[in-house]
Chain A
Amino acid sequence: MAPVLIWLMVTLCLLISVVKYTLALILKCSVRGARIRKDYTYQPRVSVLMPCYNEGQTVYETIKSISHSNYPNDRLEVIAQDDCSADDSYQWMLEAQRDFTNIPIRAGRNAENSGKARTICNALHHSTGELIISIDSDCIFHPDAIRELAACFSEPGIGSVGGRVGVRNPNASTITAIQTFIYYAAFQLYKVPENWTRSVGCISGCLFAIRRELLLAIEPKVRARHWFGIPVNQGEDRFLTHQTLLHGYGTYINTDALCWTTVPATLSELFKQQLRWRRSVIRDLFFTLKTLPQHIWKLHPNSVATLVLTPLGAVVGLLAVLTMLSGDPMAWAGPTPLVIYLAIAAALGWAIRRYSTRERVSNPLAFGAYVAWSLVSSLFITPLALCTMDSRDWGTRTREQEASRVDLAS
């Protein structure tokens, strides 16, 4: 009975995904209402909040790309907040502060290492903009990114807008190639049906714009986030997006607002990043299920479906993989799944070559590695995330931090 139920749920999730992707293609090609009405004359004062931890010289490059934005300089400011980096990130912030004088740049440091979410909140209190844009300190931004984000806020009901995150290093390794396909599919396809109802479930923290009053309303909840008394400093982007929806605002991804991030190039880094993200997904699922009546009452059905089914798919995926491995271990290696995966790879590879040449992947068949990654992801990351919900470890920079601390101590 149990396997039947699992497969039923997997089929349901798969069916919804297929419907969602198909709908995305239809919407993208034909329905104008799926795209937001942008008003480029709407140019509120914008504060770019840049939390930073152990990014080194990259922060300088990030601030530089912001300073080159096609947005009125008198309406733009950067609040760079260092979360007690063990490296020279703070010095690079100061360097950028000195070099890019066309916009106001404030460089600050936390009194103690507080995590990204609290660093954003700290930076918020030193900002003056009507529109707050939180960015990752390892990204490079397109000159039109801020202008594109701001233009979306002319639609009154919009609370948060995200940009399209591209991959800076698509051909660094097979791991980055896999992520290039995933990022492209996520932003250009998967988010489109959510955009249609202005109910994107998660706006990437790489480029996250939010109304000031809304962020101020949510801030106490961000600071108060904890898991049985343990402060939560991960998944602030998903949390902010979720809270935006619960406050009655719409969320949207403007794919014309571009930024480029350096994705993990090794399996170890990717594993840690995905583990962190999976914890956020599970935490968000628990929160959604805990307050499900409130969600059903307040939110668009598409939002509820997105908030419930996407994370549920990750949990059910684990059970499905386990059932598959115990029942028919070699099924995943059959010709039909492989042909389907390669067909998807070919289609995505073609789309990226055609529409995003900067992210062009040299070997489109690298997507085939996603099959193995899917298994690893479903089999290991979900249970590991479920069993380490108390972890405060960011993952990708802890080792450097510890190494630096040792250096400093010596």
Chain B
Amino acid sequence: MSTLLLKKPSRENKNPAGLRPILYKSVVTLYRIFGITALYVILTGVLSYAFVMGFYAISTSWAAPVILSPSDEKSLDFTEKMVTSKQTLEGLNVDKKRLEGSISEMTGHRASLLNLEPELEAAIAREKSHNRTVGPLLSELDRQKQEDNRRTQEIMGQVKLVEAGIDRDLAAGLITKGDAATQRAALNQAQTSLTDSRINEILLTDNILEKTTTHTKSLDVLDKQAELKSEISQLDIAINVAQQQVHEEFQQIERLRAAITTAKQTPYYLIVNGGRPVYFAFVPYSNQGSASVGGGVYDCYLNMVACRKVGTVKQIFPGEEHAIHPIFRTDIRGFMVQMELDHPESAKSKTVFLNRKPLFF
């Protein structure tokens, strides 16, 4: 066992020779200045960062300005949809007017057909009534005619005897050839009259049949009446379908109009149709309480201190928007507000504050 007490070894390089110590001392001094500065910068940065994170974690009045332009993807998309919607609306309006015209025309046609129907029925009734009156009279006349014709036929049965008497008279020289021809012509005339009378009898019989029974002509009229009713029914259906179409198109038009009205309440409509600079800010739902129309908008240095009023909230848009948190870089939901800015450069700030200064100065 031994206890040792050692001296400092002589080989240690604690005092380098020449100019080196001065050089080393200068380097170390510069390094220390740099180191201390860097550490203070880091410390300040870390504390500031922590404060900013904490501040934005609890702040309920910040909003993130958003600069929109007509050439933005969302604006272009909005414009395209707006144009499409308007075109659809116009198309629907034209279609609706055309349908309404068709309905009007069909309704008029239906009315004229409906007016025709009673006249037709009245004519049928009148004819039936006339037939009922004329039919028995004609039947009586027909009987008389038949009797007349029968009698005439009986008389005409003696024509051969008359012709034989004429021949005898002619042969006896009692009458001239001219007289004989005249008498024969009279006989032929009588025969012709009989034939005509028979024809008339038959025609009369037909006429009576027409007047006293259901004739094909009556059926034709009834067919026409049925066709008329069918055409009216078809018109009813067509009018009904057209009216439903008009109703649906009306509803579609109303929906489109509502959509266009809503779209007109978005920032993108203002951007596309505004024509002058418009300023917006995204407000997360957690800060909804701070957003009110007419409320002040404050812009701050370093996003939180030395704030000044730069404008007011002009309009609050109802639609939901999504954005990236300006500090935490997380997805957040909220809505847009339109700002009336006295200092347009504030639209380029990372954040602004609504209603009040965040730290009261």
Q: Which residues of A are interface residues toward B (Cβ below 8 A)?
A: 81, 94, 97-98, 101, 104-112, 114, 118, 121-122, 125-126, 220, 223-224, 226, 228-231, 325, 327-331, 379-380, 383-384, 386-390
Contact = CB atoms under 8 A, between A and B. Distances in A.
A112 B6 CA distance: 9
Given A229-B25, A387-B38, 6 more contacts: A112-B8, A122-B6, A223-B9, A226-B14, A230-B28, A389-B35
A390 B32 contact: yes
B327 interface: yes
Interface string B296-331: 000000000000000000000000000000011110
Contacts of B25: 229
Contacts of B237: none
Contacts of B4: 81, 106-109, 126
Nearest to A230: B28
Contacts of A108: 3-6
A379 B46 contact: yes
Contacts of A226: 13-14, 16
Interface string B6-24: 1111011110100011001
B54 to A, nearest CB: 12
B28 A111 contact: no
A223 B13 contact: yes
Interface of B: 1-9, 11-14, 16, 20-21, 24-25, 27-28, 31-32, 34-36, 38-39, 42, 46, 49, 53, 327-330
Contacts of A220: 11
10 contacts: A98-B1, A101-B1, A110-B6, A110-B8, A112-B8, A229-B20, A379-B46, A383-B42, A387-B42, A390-B28
For the complex of A and B, the 8 pairs showing the least CB-CB separation, nearest first, are: A108-B4, A229-B24, A387-B35, A224-B13, A228-B24, A328-B329, A122-B6, A228-B27
A330 B329 contact: yes
Given A387-B38, A390-B31, A114 B329 contact: no
Nearest to B330: A330
Contacts of B28: 228-230, 390
A403 B24 CA distance: 32
Nearest to B53: A329
- Best-buried of B5, B12, B49 by chain A (most CB within 10 Å): B12
Contacts of A111: 5-8
A81 B53 contact: no
A228 B20 CA distance: 9
A108 B327 CA distance: 59
A97 B4 CA distance: 12
Contacts of B46: 379-380
A410 B235 CA distance: 121
A224 B7 contact: no
A328 B327 CA distance: 8
Nearest to B40: A387
B20 A330 contact: no
- Best-buried of A104, A118, A230, A329 by chain B (most CB within 10 Å): A329
Contacts of B49: 325
Given A97-B1, A329-B53, A231 B7 contact: no
A27 B14 CA distance: 45
A121 B6 CA distance: 11
B284 to A, nearest CB: 15
Contact of B12 (A118, A125, A325): A118
Contact of B9 (A104, A122, A388): A122
Contacts of B3: 94, 97, 106-108
A278 B5 CA distance: 33
B14 A231 contact: yes
B95 to A, nearest CB: 52
Nearest to B20: A229
A111 B5 CA distance: 7
- Best-buried of A118, A228, A380 by chain B (most CB within 10 Å): A228
A94 B3 CA distance: 8
A383 B39 contact: yes
A382 to B, nearest CB: 10
- Best-buried of B6, B21, B34 by chain A (most CB within 10 Å): B6
A121 B39 contact: no
Nearest to B12: A223
Contacts of B328: 329-330
Contacts of B32: 390
A112 B9 CA distance: 11
Contacts of A121: 9
A328 B324 CA distance: 10
Nearest to B14: A231
B16 A229 contact: yes
A110 B21 CA distance: 26
Contacts of B34: 387
A3 to B, nearest CB: 13
B185 to A, nearest CB: 132
Nearest to A98: B1
A398 to B, nearest CB: 19
Contact of B35 (A229, A379, A388): A388
Nearest to B30: A228
A388 B35 CA distance: 7
Contacts of B35: 386-390
B5 A389 contact: no
Nearest to B7: A111
A294 B4 CA distance: 40
Contacts of A98: 1
Given A110-B6, A229-B20, A329-B53, A389 B39 contact: no
B11 A106 contact: no
